[in-house]
């Protein structure tokens, strides 16, 4: 027993001498329970709804008041009506500014007999299948509360699901998986770059070389761009040809944003590699920094509007948040470049900041060792 206790005491001293691992072991469960508790939210909130009132009668005004009274919807009534209002609303739907459109036709009357062909028309963005299903169900419940569940009113409601009419889950999740896998693999590729040099002892050769720190960091990053693009092409081909995911947009639109996203992931990996002491730590940090936030805070599963404000702010620091909107927009909606200039700018800023930080950390370590 004494010898067993001696071994246990020795192991305990090893644990206490490794505060980094000890911190991760205690911190990781807290981070996960915090994220899962707040991010696992199936409540439907802040459904942005554009109402086009073509009837402008007492019945339609009563319907709008009923719609505005709920706590689920955030409604805006279009100032104009007709085709021009509908086209503008559909553009906003494609851009992601609104989630659905409610069109109240001319001469709409909830008391009309079946032969009346004036339908309440819902147009829902189906690119997020979970949200679209819940919006459709919520619409039905709200109309039933208004007394629209009578047989003669059943034919007066018409719902159109855009961008994913069949509401296939794969069409929603697989593009998200592409974004998560791409950032994770890109970060992993470069996270081992500088840390490998440290373990091999060849980092000293880089320290004494005439190369500038920025040149070393960029040189360590650039070779992996081509590798990451090939990996993305493989993932996209698998998604389209194996899982039959529709791709309605243009690869020429997606590729520039993909390149920015890959550079962001590679820059994050090189920052981790520069700061980490060894390859094992670099790989662990890269996985932790990319996979968990990308799954929980990017909109991959849950809409960002359902998150608390603090997590919504943090989500804006997750690169996958921006590329997820791009790949779903281009693939499912056929959106063009001008829809995503803000996302592209955000990823460009991420890349510049990460490369700058990597260069600064590398330069400090270089000065310390010279």
**Domain residue ranges of the chain, discontinuous segments joined by +:** 47-162, 168-369
Say yes or no to pLDDT of 33 above 90.
no
3-state SS string over 125-180?
A: ECCCHHHHHHHHHHHHHHHHHCCCCCHHHHCCEEEEEECCCCCCHHHHHHHHHHHH
Helix, strand or coil for residue 76? strand
CB 169 within 8 A of CB 200: no
**Which of 6-20, 117-131, 150-164 is modeled with the greatest confidence?**
117-131
Chain segment 251-306, per-residue pLDDT in tens: 999 999 999 999 999 999 989 988 887 888 888 888 888 988 898 888 888 788 77
Residue 296, sorted as left (phi over 0), alpha (psi -120 to 50) or beta, turns out to be alpha
317-346 core/surface letters (b: 16 or more CB in 10 A; e: else): ebbbbbbbbbbbbbbbbbbebebbeebbeb
Sign of CA dihedral 49, 152, 56, 165: positive
Please count the other Cβ atoms lying within 10 Å of the Cβ belonging to residue 150: 11
> Which of 288, 330, 328 lies closest to 29 in space, CA to CA?
288
Chain segment 137-195, per-residue pLDDT in tens: 888 888 776 654 444 444 467 888 888 888 888 888 888 888 998 998 889 888 888 88
Say yes or no to pLDDT of 116 above 60.
no
Q: State how beta strands 73-77 and 120-125 pair.
A: unpaired
Say yes or no to pLDDT of 222 above 80.
yes
Q: How confident is the model at residue 11 (pLDDT cuts 50, 70, 90)?
A: low
Pick the CATH number of 47-162 from 3.40.50.720, 3.40.1710.10, 3.40.50.620, 3.40.630.30: 3.40.1710.10
369/213: higher pLDDT: 213
Going edge to edge, which strands form the sheet with 157-162? 73-77, 47-53, 100-104, 120-125, 157-162
């Amino acid at each position: 027993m004494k010898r067993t206790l001696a071994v246990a005491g020795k192991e305990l001293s090893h644990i206490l001498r490794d505060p980094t691992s000890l911190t991760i072991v205690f911190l990781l469960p807290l981070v996960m329970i915090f994220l899962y508790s707040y991010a696992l939210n199936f409540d439907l909130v802040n459904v942005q709804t554009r109402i086009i009132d073509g009837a402008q009668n007492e019945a339609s005004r009563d319907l709008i008041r009923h719609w505005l009274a709920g706590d689920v919807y955030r409604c805006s009534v279009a100032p104009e009506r007709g085709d021009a209002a509908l086209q503008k609303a559909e553009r906003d739907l494609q851009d992601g500014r609104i989630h659905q459109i409610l069109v109240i036709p001319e001469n709409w009357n909830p008391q009309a007999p079946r032969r009346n062909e004036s339908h309440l028309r819902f147009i829902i963005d189906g690119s997020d299948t979970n949200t679209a299903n819940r919006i459709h169900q919520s619409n039905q419940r709200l109309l039933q509360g208004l007394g629209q569940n009578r047989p003669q009113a059943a034919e007066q409601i018409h719902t159109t699901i855009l961008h994913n009419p069949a509401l296939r889950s794969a069409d929603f999740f697989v593009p998200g998986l592409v974004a998560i896998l791409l950032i994770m693999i890109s970060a992993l590729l470069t996270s081992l770059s500088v840390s490998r040099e440290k373990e091999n002892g060849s980092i000293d050769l880089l320290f004494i070389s005439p190369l500038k720190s920025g040149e070393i960091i960029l040189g360590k990053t650039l070779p992996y761009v081509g590798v990451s693009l090939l990996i993305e092409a493989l993932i996209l081909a698998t998604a389209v040809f194996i899982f039959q995911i529709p791709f309605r947009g243009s690869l020429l639109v997606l590729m520039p944003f993909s390149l920015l996203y890959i550079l962001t992931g590679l820059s994050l990996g090189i920052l981790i590699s520069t700061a980490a002491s060894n390859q094992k730590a670099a790989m662990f940090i890269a996985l932790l920094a990319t996979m968990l936030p990308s799954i929980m805070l990017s909109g991959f599963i849950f809409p960002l509007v359902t998150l608390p404000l603090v997590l919504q702010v943090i989500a804006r620091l997750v690169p996958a948040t921006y590329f997820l909107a791009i790949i779903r927009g281009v693939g499912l909606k056929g959106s063009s470049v001008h829809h995503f200039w803000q996302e592209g700018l955000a990823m460009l800023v991420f890349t510049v900041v990460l490369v700058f930080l990597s260069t600064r950390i590398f330069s400090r370590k270089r000065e310390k060792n010279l």
